[in-house]
Structure 1
C-alpha cells in the first residue's frame, strides 16, 4: 500500500497430556476467593469492556487497543465467532482479519488483560449468532442443544480453536484470564444443561481445571437458573440503573453463587440499531457514570458493552425478528465506530484518573485519524442482473432445478442470489408464499416490484407484473439480509416455496449467486472467463440521459491525496452494497435509514481506488442526468425522525 500507514485426535491427545503435565501442577495465577479476584496472589478487579477484532480493520487493531488502554481500562472482552473462522465446513481461517492470536498479542503489548467469549453461540448482533450457515444443511438440526450432530461439529471446532489459544492463558504467560462458555444461555428456550456442561468439560479438557470459566445472563432467577453452569463463575449483565436496582441485581447473582465476586460482564452504555428504526435514545453520560460510581463503590468488576463497537463489514450483520441490524455497530460506545473519543470516553478517563487504588492509570490520548472528503467521482454502468446471470451461467457458476432451491442448497451462504426462469404463458399475479428476506423482481430487465418476508410490520408475498408475455424473462434477485441472531432458529434463506403466476407453478429455475470477488475481477482484474468476455463486448457506458439504466452493477475509480478515513455517502441511492479495492464496506439503505453513510477506514484506501456498487432498486437520480457519481464525506450521517 503506497501510504505506508502505521497503523487430528492422535496428534491432539498427547498434546493435551503434555500440557497437563507441564502446567497443571502449578497453582493457578488467576482465581477468586472470599468474593474477590486474585491475580498472582494480589487482589484484582477489572474495569474493561468489549471490542471485537472482527468489526475492525486489522491494520487498525493496535490503534483501537491503544485508545482503549488510554482510558485507563485494564481488560478487554471479545467473542470468537465460529462462522467467521470456519465459513466452509472443515476449512479454518486464522489469518488477516481473522488472526485472533495477533489481536491477543496486541492486547498484551498494550497492557490489557483478556476475557474470552468462546461461544460457540455468541449473539452479538452477528450473522446467525456466530453459528456457521452450513449447520443448516443438517435436516432439522437443533442448534445450541445436545443434538449429537451439533455437538460433534462444536467439538471439531473447539478441537481446532482451543489449542491455538492455550499458549496465551495467563498461566502460560499470556493475557487471557477467563473463558466464557455459550452466551446468555438462560434467554434460550431449550435450557439444556447437558449441552452447557458438555461445553464446560470440553474447555476444561484443553485449558485445565484451574482456568476460570464464566457464564453471563440477565439478572433474573429464571435466566440464571437456565444459563448458569456448575463449576463456572456466574456473572450478570445490565445497563445504567438506580443504586437500589443495582444492589437488587447483584443480590440475585449472589443468591446463586454466594462466594463469587460481583461482576457485570455487559454494562450497556448504548445499544444497537436496526434498519428503519425511526428513533434512538441512549442513557446520558451522567446516568452511565452514576451506575459506574456505585458498582465500583460496592467492589464490583464490570465490562462495558461496547467500549468500541466497530462496523458490520460485508454481509456479517445479524438480524432481529423485525429486521436486520445496520452496518454501523457504533453502539454509542465511548469510542465511536471510527475511533474518535466521545464525552463518555472523557468522563470515564477522568474518573479513572482520580482512582487512588488503580494500577492502570490513563495514558496520553492518541491523535484522531484524519478524515477526507472526495466528491463527484464518476460511476459507470457495468450490467444488469440478467446480464450477470447469463455470464455466470457461461462460466458454470449457477445451479439449475425444476423448483427453486435455497441459498444453503446451492452453497451460497450470504448476499444475493438471482433466480431466473422463462414465462411459458401470460399472467399478472406473481406469488411467493415464503421468500427470505427481500426479492427484487425484474421482467426483461425492467424492475417490477419487491417481495418482503417480514420487515417491521410489513410483509408482501405477491406483486402484479406489467406486460408479462409468453417467453418473457423473469428474474428475482433475493437478498439475505442477515440470519437471526437472537433466540436461535434455523433461518434458511432464498425462495423457500413454489412460485406461481396466476396460480400456475413456475418451473425450470436457474440460480446464480452474485459473487462479488468474481465481479471485481471481471472489472478490474485479468480474468479472461467466457462470461466476462461476453459481457464486456459492450463497452461500459457512462450513464448519460439517453441511456436510462436500472438497478444492477456499477463501477468506477477515484483518487485520494493522502491516507485518511472517509464515509461513502449513499444519499440518492436506494438499497445495495459497495466494495472499495475489493473490501466490502457493507450494506447501504438510505431510503429507509437511519444510516446514510458507510465508514471507509483509511487502510482500505490507496492513491487510486476501485469501486464496485450493487444497486437493487433504483440508481441515484443523477444517473439520469448524465452525471452518475458518488461522494465521500469527512463525517458520518444518520437521520432519525427527531433530528
Structure 2
C-alpha cells in the first residue's frame, strides 16, 4: 500500500477515540482544598499533560499530533494562545486556517484530550515578543505587562475578542478546557505590578464566569512566586530535571497551602539559540522524576511534548549579556520530534504513565513518511537593492532621520534604508552605530556592491570608502524580538543615527519590503531568473528554483550546505531562517502538504551574505539539528 494511504488510515483511527464526557450531563471541574486534589465530575482527578503549540504545527497535522499524545497516555494538553499570531495588525483579527484555535480545541475534544489553556496576554514560549503584538511599541512610553493605561486598554480589547470564543469550550460549559492561566511566569518580570494582575483576574472572571479554575505559573524561586501570584488565582510552579521535587513543591505549598500539587512546566528538553549546542535532556531523568511526581499525586504538564517549528519570523530571542536569537526549529528534544515523530523518550514516558493510568490500547501512530528529493540547483534572480520596485511597489518613505520598523508599521522581516555618501572617502572611514542602534543585523552596500555588516551588541563599526553621492544601502533584518525578561520592549530597525566619519547620515529613503506578500503572489517565476550557470553574489540576493513533482508530497528537510544565512520560501510559505555556519540547526523542516504532487514546487531563497558556489540545495529524509558547523 502507498505510504500516504497508510498514513491516512492511521489518522482515521482517531474515529475510534471517543470523548467520554460528550453524552453525560452537566460537567464540573474544581479544586478540593480540603483533600488537596482536583475534582472532575465529583471524582478525584490527576492530569498528566503535554504542551503543544498549534501555531508551530501545520493545521494538516494537528490531528496526527493530538492522536499520538492521546496514545501515549496523556489525558490533557496544554496550549498557549499567541496574541500577535491572531492580531498582527491592531484591530485586525485572524482565526482562520492555521490560526483556527476553535478547530484545534475541537480536534482535541474529539481525541479525548482535556485542555489547560494559557491565553496570555504574554506567553514567553520563545515566541516573537513573548506573544505580544509589536504594534504595542508604537505607543509612546508604554510599559508592557503593567497597569499602564494604553497597555491595559489593548489587553482588554484583545481579551474581549478572545475570551468569548473560549467560554463555550470550558469544561463546565460542556467543552474540554479544565483551567485557564492568567498571564505567564509574571514573577520573572521586573514590574511586579499587582494592579495589573488584579485587572486580568477581573477581566477573565467577567468573560469566563466564576466556575472556571484560574491559575498562575511561576519559576521555582521565592521572588518569582511572590510577584507572580495573587489571591483568587491558583498558584502552580514549574521546574525541570535539575530540581529537588520535594523542595519545589514545598515552595508551592508556602504560596498555596492547600490544593493539588502542580508542575505546570516539567521540562523534557530546552530551546536552542543560534551558536548553541543542540539541547538534550536525559530520558531516564525525565522518566524517574515524572514517576516520582505522579506517585505523589501531583498533576504534571510536560513542556514541550512536541515543540514544532518557528516558521516565518515567529522565533523569539533572549537578551541577557547580549542579544541571542532562537533558531527556527523548536524541536526542544521533546518526546515528539519537530516533525511529529515518536521518539525513544516518548516510549519511555508512556511506560511511566502506564504504571499510574490506563494507556489506550492499539498501536502508536507511525512517523509521517519522509523523502529525500535530492539536489535542486537554483538560479539568481537579483540583488535585493535592484528589486525594490517589485518588493516595495508603493515606493519609499522619505525621512531626515531613520525610522524604526514600528514607526513604519512593518513589524517583521526586512527593511531597506537608502541614502548617499555626504563626501568623498578616499581612505577607509568608520561607519558607526554609536548607541548600539542596529536591531538586529544590517547588510551594507555601496552602489550595489556588498561591503559587510553591522550587528547588534557585536559589530558596531565597519569601514567604508567611496565617492560623494554614491548610493549607500542598508538592509536591516529583524531577527526576532526578545521574548523574556525586562528587554521585551524591543524596537527593530535603525534605532538612532549612523555616523560616517564626522558626518551624521541624514535624508533617508526607507523601503518597507513586502517580501512575503510578493512571494505569496507567485514571484519570482523561474523564467525571471538568470541562466543556471550564473554565479552567486555577495550580499542580499534572491535565488529561485523548482522541485519537480513526484506524484506524492511527503515531509522532507532542506539543507543549505555552503550557504551562509537567510530565509527560505516554498510555494509562497515562509519556512523560516537558516544559518548553517552558526548552527546548531542545519536543516529546515518542510511539511509535505506544502509541496505539490502534480506541479513544480517553487523554491525561493534570500541569501544575505554569500551563497554556495554551486547554488545547490538538498532535500533530505532526516533532520540535522545538532551541528555547530556545516560539516555534515
Instruction: State the TM-score, normalizing by the size of structure 1.
Output: 0.89
Task: Indicate if the aligned counterparts of 1:72 and 1:363 stay in contact, CA closer than 8 A.
Answer: no
- Cα drift, residue 64 of structure 1: 0.5
Are the equivalent residues in 2 in contact too, given 1:349–1:362 (CA < 8 A)? no
SS in 1 for 2:418: strand
Aligned residue among 590, 595, 609 for 1:605: 595
For 2:259, the equivalent position in structure 1 comes to 260
Q: Could you tell me which residue of structure 2 aligns to residue 591 of structure 1?
A: 581
CA distance in 2: counterparts of 1:363 and 1:175, whole angstroms = 24
Q: Which residue of 2 aligns with 1:17?
A: none
Decide whether the 8 Å contact of 1:417 with 1:494 is kept in 2: yes
State the Cα distance separating 1:45 from its structure 2 match.
0.5
User: By how many angstroms is 1:297 displaced?
Assistant: 1.3
Maintained 8 Å contact 1:353/1:362: no
Structure-2 separation of matches of 1:445 and 1:572: 23
Deviation at 1:521, TM superposition (A): 5.4
Helix, strand or coil for the counterpart of 1:234? Answer: strand
CA spacing shift, 1:92–1:617, aligned 2, 3 Å: same
User: 1:520 and 1:361 mapped to 2: Cα distance?
Assistant: 44
Q: CA deviation at 1:99?
A: 0.4
1:563 maps onto 2:548 in alignment: no
Q: Distance in 1 between matches of 2:162 and 2:260?
A: 28
Shift in alpha-carbon separation, 1:303–1:390, aligned structure 2, 3 A: same
Match of 1:572 among 562, 571, 574: 562
| Equivalent runs, 1:315-330 vs 2, <5 Å | 315-321=313-319, 322-330=323-331
Mapped to 1, the partners of 2:93 and 2:331 lie a distance apart of 28
Post-superposition shift, 1:281?
Answer: 4.7
CA contact (8 A) 1:353 1:361 kept: no
In structure 2, runs of 5+ residues without a counterpart are: 12-25
1:475-497 Cα shifts (integer Å, max 9, x gaps): 11101100000014311010111
* Deviation of 1:639 (Å): 3.9
Q: Structure 2 matches for 1:205-224, cutoff 5 A? A: 205-224=206-225
Q: Sort the Cα spacing of 1:30 and 1:482 in 2 relative to 1 into closer, same or farther, 3 A.
A: same
> 3-state SS of the aligned residue for 2:331?
coil
Tell me how far apart the structure 2 counterparts of residues 522 and 77 of structure 1 sit (CA, whole Å): 35
TM-superposed CA distance for 1:310, in Å, is 0.3
Residues 317, 325 of structure 1: 8 Å contact kept? yes
> Does the CA contact (< 8 Å) of 1:73 and 1:362 recur in 2?
no
Q: 1:461 to 1:29 in 2, by over 3 A?
A: closer
CA RMSD of aligned residues (A): 2.1
Give the deviation of 1:641 after TM superposition. Answer: 5.5
Pairing partner for 1:634 from 618, 621, 630: 621
Residue pairs, 1:2-13, within 5 angstroms: 6=8
**Using the alignment, how far apart are the partners of 1:124 and 1:174 within structure 2?**
25
- Could you tell me whether the CA contact under 8 Å between 2:28 and 2:171 is conserved in 1? no
Distance 1:264 1:550, change over 3 A: closer
Give the counterpart of 2:410 among 412, 425, 444: 412
3-state SS, counterpart of residue 387 of structure 2: helix
Bigger shift: residues 550-559 or 341-350: 550-559
User: Contact 1:314 / 1:586 at 8 angstroms: preserved in 2?
Assistant: yes
Compared with structure 1, are the counterparts of its residues 548 and 495 closer, same or farther at alpha carbon in structure 2 (3 Å cutoff)? closer
Q: Which residue of 2 aligns with 1:32?
A: 32
Quick one: distance in 2 between partners of 1:52 and 1:548? 38
Report runs of 4+ in structure 1 exceeding 6 Å deviation.
none
Measure, in 2, the Cα distance between the counterparts of 1:365 and 1:27. Answer: 30
Distance 1:268 1:546, change over 3 A: closer
Instruction: Provide TM-score, normalisation by structure 2.
Output: 0.91
Change (3 A) 1:546 1:611: closer
Provide the residue aligned with 2:503 in structure 1.
Answer: 504
Deviation digits for residues 544-594 of structure 1, max 9, x if unmatched?
256756531111211242121101102111111000011100000011111
